[in-house]
Structure 1
Amino acid sequence: MTPTALPLLDQQLCELEQFPDEVRRLFHGRGQCWPGLEHITVDWLAGQLLISLFKEPDLEFIDALRVLSAKWAQLPLWQSKVKSILLHHRSRPDCELEVLWGTLSKEQQVVENGLTFLLDLGNKQNNGLFLDMRFGRSWVKSNAQDKRILNLFAYTCGFSVAAIAGGAKQVVNLDMAKAALGKGRDNHRANGHELNKVKFLGHELFKSWGKVRKFGPYDLVIIDPPSFQKGSFALTKDYKKILRRLPELLTEHGQVLACVNDPSLDAQFLIQEMAEQAPDMVFVERLDNPPEFRDINPQASLKSLLFKRVAS
């Protein structure tokens, strides 16, 4: 990242005529479309502007960013809408969150597609909602009516919230991070959902197939794993272990939404793995990513692939 590239960011943000009503990414440098700004993103969190750095820049860059933030804070639109400008040092071991202007509200409530989500801002990598999965959650909401759904690597249960809002009969969320599932319960409560339709399994997946099968079979299985989770999941090695279990998890005409967000793997990785491990699953389509996540190489961005089961 170079200070000489910051005028590009300044221009993008100063040209805003209004801030979105819902949570949105405002600038996506990680899509490699802005030379010199490849490791910076800017998100709008309903009053708080979150700038994230994914690589440690030199002090000159950070100083220039602080100067820009002070300038933005004086713009009339910003003075009326922005409560704080935050700088998230994602590359640092403690993921330091620095307040550049205003006052930090660590607990943040945002709206996406008419649904409420609770964010937790602080010294941690992720705040509770991956914004590039907006269209994926929207698809689930539109296709959940009367379905039994399994949400693997559920995190804070964004897919589950969308599914219940879309009329799902039942959603089973599994994630080894029980604190994240607790936030998922809060997300459901924030939307007035009946929790008797939602299960929360705080287990390591590969030791819990019996518990997962107990609530099946499922009309839809959602697989959205991390690229790497120390001691529990390595994408290229472990994804196939999940796919080969699909026949025992799915209904006769069940669907799978399989996702991968590793820039080194393209969509063909999932298509080939599915063909080898679950040959009765047929690839249907790749869901679009939100336009604000434009990437110079579409295969490096989030891949959300839909498959359906066909009778053998």
Structure 2
Amino acid sequence: MSISPSNPTLQSVSQALSAAISKRTQFLANAKQNETDCYRIFHGTVEGINGLNIDRYGNAWLIQSFHQALTEDELSQITVQLTQESMLPVIYNDRSNKNSRVLNSLSDDNEVFATSEQQMQENGILFSSKLRHEGQDPLLFLDMRIGREYVKSHSQDRTVLNLFSYTCGIGTAAAVGGATRVVNIDFSSFALAAGKRNAQLNHVENVCEFIQSDAFPALRQLAGLKVGGRRNQKLPAYPKLSATQFDLVFLDPPRYAKSVFGIVDLINDYQSLFKPAMLTTKPGGTIVCCNNVAKVDRQTWFDSLVRCVEKQGRQVTQHVWLDCHEDFPSFDGNHPLKMVALTLS
């Protein structure tokens, strides 16, 4: 079984991985110097094998296939190449079925390792890691490194709101960067538990707050707006919050999600989240907006954000694009994950 429609040979898989590692020589040297042991070593969509990603997560290599499973020969060859680079355990998660759940079994030793808590570091910040757990994705999104770096360097003596926080990587970076208060909001108790662990690893738990809530009622309350829901939907209980503005707001919603409170739709209705998030941003503060949908045009999306700000009688006084690091290459310099930091009057 091949791993892409182009039916690559075992030799082409090996060559593509070798080329990717060679291109990262300086990156890998810098990562070691910067106390970073979590990064992408092979970004298949761009580097030759569509649907195959290979990452380092601390003391392990993680291979993930999203379109077709690796053959035993392909997995064996990749394992040899990775362990030549660094002698670490290799975990393979085949996620090629429709709902992206892990399909393949592991040996008993590898299963114990993959499901146990590990630690990794990024720019000296510690994060917990499990290569297999009750969710689908790894506990830290590596392409968001530039976002964590930006937040860390812009959080000194500031208050920070981290929306759709997942395992609170952004919030942890903010706290390590000197924030006075960090509020992490996510609907998943599992993700927030991992976030609490990350705060503890870095001794910043006294700065971080963790609120389990649907984003819509939390955001609307913080923005001083009425909490509503979709038509004919009875609203469940939700945490009560007071209207509050923050110096730095980080908005990183999923592509699409539906609840009784509203619909997250990054293609057709980013504004339903952006407007209340903007209202929770202090005058002179910054909101970092993320959109991970490849087909959303970068400039069109940015223009829509500016229009939304201006409709509220405010202005974007400065903006900075945050581009993914070189371990996440793109075809044309326009990565599917778009991040922009907007300073608002």
Q: TM-score, length-normalised on structure 1?
A: 0.86
Distance 1:23 1:97, change over 3 A: farther
Distance 1:193 1:240, change over 3 A: same
Check the 8 A contact 2:290/2:338 in 1, yes or no: yes
Aligned AA for 2:80?
K
Check the 8 A contact 1:54/1:89 in 2, yes or no: yes
Instruction: Tell me the secondary structure at the aligned position of residue 267 of structure 2.
Output: helix
Partner of 1:180: 191
Q: CA deviation at 1:294?
A: 0.8
Check the 8 A contact 1:173/1:200 in 2, yes or no: yes
Give the Cα separation in 2 of the matches to 1:146 and 1:26.
35
Partner of 2:235: none
Aligned AA for 2:218?
S
- Given candidates 251, 268, 284, the residue that maps to 1:223 is 251
Check the 8 A contact 2:16/2:47 in 1, yes or no: no
Q: CA deviation at 1:24?
A: 1.1
Aligned AA for 1:299?
N
Give the Cα separation in 2 of the matches to 1:254 and 1:28.
35
Q: CA deviation at 1:227?
A: 0.9
Alignment of 1:170 onto 2:177: no
Partner of 1:199: 209
Check the 8 A contact 1:6/1:65 in 2, yes or no: yes
Partner of 2:338: 303
Check the 8 A contact 2:146/2:325 in 1, yes or no: yes
Aligned AA for 2:321?
R
Check the 8 A contact 1:24/1:131 in 2, yes or no: yes
Give the Cα separation in 1 of the matches to 2:108 and 2:18.
19
Distance 1:8 1:150, change over 3 A: same
Check the 8 A contact 2:286/2:341 in 1, yes or no: yes
Distance 1:38 1:299, change over 3 A: same
Aligned AA for 1:219?
D
Partner of 1:3: 8
Partner of 2:233: none
Give the Cα separation in 2 of the matches to 1:88 and 1:233.
28
Instruction: Tell me the secondary structure at the aligned position of residue 160 of structure 1.
Output: helix
Check the 8 A contact 1:156/1:184 in 2, yes or no: yes
Paired residue total: 299
Instruction: Tell me the secondary structure at the aligned position of residue 327 of structure 2.
Output: helix
Q: CA deviation at 1:115?
A: 0.3
Give the Cα separation in 2 of the matches to 1:234 and 1:74.
41
Partner of 2:323: 288
- Given candidates 106, 115, 128, the residue that maps to 1:118 is 128
Check the 8 A contact 2:220/2:276 in 1, yes or no: no
Mark the runs of 5 or more structure 1 residues left unpaired by the alignment: none
Mark the runs of 5 or more structure 2 residues left unpaired by the alignment: 224-241
Check the 8 A contact 1:281/1:307 in 2, yes or no: no
Partner of 2:64: 52
Q: CA deviation at 1:267?
A: 1.7
Give the Cα separation in 2 of the matches to 1:70 and 1:275.
47
Alignment of 1:1-312 (within 5 A): 1=4, 2-4=7-9, 5-12=12-19, 21=32, 22-30=37-45, 32-34=46-48, 37-57=49-69, 61-69=70-78, 71-72=80-81, 75=84, 78=86, 81-82=87-88, 84-92=89-97, 93=99, 94-96=101-103, 98-99=105-106, 103=110, 104-106=113-115, 107-122=117-132, 124-195=135-206, 197-209=207-219, 211-213=221-223, 214=242, 216-231=244-259, 232-279=263-310, 280-282=314-316, 284-310=319-345
Give the Cα separation in 2 of the matches to 1:73 and 1:300.
26
Aligned Cα root-mean-square deviation (Å)? 2.6
Give the Cα separation in 1 of the matches to 2:8 and 2:321.
37
Distance 1:33 1:73, change over 3 A: closer
More divergent stretch after superposition (291-300 vs 151-160): 291-300
Aligned AA for 1:89?
D
Q: CA deviation at 1:102?
A: 6.9
Runs of 4+ aligned structure 1 residues displaced above 6 Å come to 16-19
Check the 8 A contact 1:151/1:222 in 2, yes or no: yes
Check the 8 A contact 2:91/2:114 in 1, yes or no: no
Q: CA deviation at 1:177?
A: 1.1
Check the 8 A contact 1:10/1:68 in 2, yes or no: no
Check the 8 A contact 1:148/1:216 in 2, yes or no: no
Distance 1:229 1:8, change over 3 A: farther
Task: Encode CA deviations 1:161-196: one digit per residue, 9 max, x unaligned.
Answer: 00000110111111111211111001000111133x
Q: CA deviation at 1:246?
A: 4.1
